Amino acid sequence: MVAATLPAELEALVGQAVLALQQEAERFTATGSAPKIEVAALQFTRVIDPGNQLPGYEGVWRNARNARCGTLTINSDGSCFAEYDLFCPHPRDPRWFVEMVTAWGRADALRCEAKLIPSPGDE
């Protein structure tokens, strides 16, 4: 895949999705330990939606070891889906472990949630 520059009309959507992920990460990590989720760290490629053959974009975040730690997909219909790995204990409930945070929707209606799994030993 070839790196792509994101069209200007999609920048606001990307900014909103990244902000939503950041806020959700801050809710589900210990104070001060949330990762810094940044638009500038995304590496986008242009992709083709197999359903309608229209262009979309996929962005990838990578950690210091160059392993993928998150993605942001912008579909041809203007909707998006983003996820970012946290892999940390729940800050307020020891029964849970926070795997990742996700955001999805459109610029005017983004939704967010954390994906929780039972803590090891609590299964």
For residues 41-61, average pLDDT: 92
Measured CA to CA, the distance from residue 3 to residue 43 in angstroms comes to 7
Would you give the end-to-end CA distance of the chain in angstroms? 41
- Residue 52 belongs to a domain: yes
Measured CA to CA, the distance from residue 66 to residue 85 in angstroms comes to 14
Measured CA to CA, the distance from residue 61 to residue 37 in angstroms comes to 9
pLDDT value at residue 51: 80
Task: For 20-45, write each residue's pLDDT tens digit.
Answer: 999 999 999 998 899 999 999 999 99
Nearest alpha-carbon partner for 61 in 45, 79, 84: 84
CA 34 to chain centre: 13
Q: Could you give the number of structural domains in the chain?
A: 1
Q: Looking at the whole model, is its pTM more than 0.85?
A: yes
- Residue 50 belongs to a domain: yes
Q: What CA–CA distances, in Å, run from 30 to 23, 56, 88, 121, 122?
A: 13, 35, 9, 20, 20
The Cβ of residue 84 has, within 10 Å, a number of other Cβ atoms equal to: 21
Q: What is the 3-state secondary structure (H, E, C) of 35-88?
A: CCCCHHHCEEEEEECCCCCCEEEEEEEECCCCCEEEEEEECCCCCEEEEEEEEE
- Residue 1 belongs to a domain: no
Of 1-10, 41-50, 82-91, the range with the lowest mean pLDDT is 1-10
- Residue 123 belongs to a domain: no
- Domain hosting 16: range is 8-118
